[in-house]
Amino acid sequence: MSVIIFADQAQGKIKKVAFEAVQYGAKVAQQLGTSATALVLGQVDNAELEALGNYGAAKVLHVADARLNEVESTVFTKIVAAAAEQEAAQVIVFPHNFDGKAIAPRVAARLKAGFVSGAISLPDTANGFVVKKSVFSGKAFANINITSEKKVIAVMPNTFPVEKTDAKATVTAFSPAISDADFKVKVSKVETVTGEVPLTEAEIVVSGGRGLKGPENWGLVEDLAKALGAATACSRPVADTGWRPHHEHVGQTGLTVRPNLYVAIGISGAIQHLAGVNGSKVIVVINKDPEAPFFKAADYGIVGDAFEVVPKLTAAIKQL
Ligand code: FAD
Q: How far is the CA of 294 from the centre of ligand 1 (A)?
A: 10
How many angstroms separate the CA atoms of 133 and 63, rounded?
31
Condensed to tens digits (0 to 9), the pLDDT of residues 66-82 reads 999 999 999 999 999 99
If pLDDT is split at 50, 70 and 90, which confidence band does 155 have? very high
Q: How far is the CA of 283 from the centre of ligand 1 (A)?
A: 16
How many angstroms separate the CA atoms of 145 and 80, rounded?
23
If pLDDT is split at 50, 70 and 90, which confidence band does 193 have? low
Condensed to tens digits (0 to 9), the pLDDT of residues 200-209 reads 889 999 999 9
Which protein residue has the closest C-alpha to ligand 1 atom 28? Answer: 251
Residue among 205, 206, 210, 232 whose CB has most ligand 1 atoms within 8 A, to mutate:
210
If pLDDT is split at 50, 70 and 90, which confidence band does 196 have? low
Condensed to tens digits (0 to 9), the pLDDT of residues 71-128 reads 999 999 999 999 999 999 999 999 999 899 999 999 999 999 999 999 999 999 999 9
Tell which wins on pLDDT, 30 or 198. 30
pLDDT for 272: 95
Contact 93, 28 (CB under 8 A): yes
Position 192 pLDDT exceeds 70: no
If pLDDT is split at 50, 70 and 90, which confidence band does 194 have? low
* Per-chain mean pLDDT for the chain: 94
Determine if residue 34 is left, alpha or beta; phi over 0 gives left, psi from -120 to 50 gives alpha, anything else beta.
Answer: beta
Q: How far is the CA of 211 from the centre of ligand 1 (A)?
A: 8
Whether the complex's predicted ipTM surpasses the cut of 0.85: yes
E strand spans, 85-158:
89-95, 114-119, 130-135, 140-145, 151-155
Three-state DSSP at 95 gives: strand
Task: Using alpha carbons, select from 137, 86, 95, 138 the residue that is nearest to residue 118.
Answer: 95
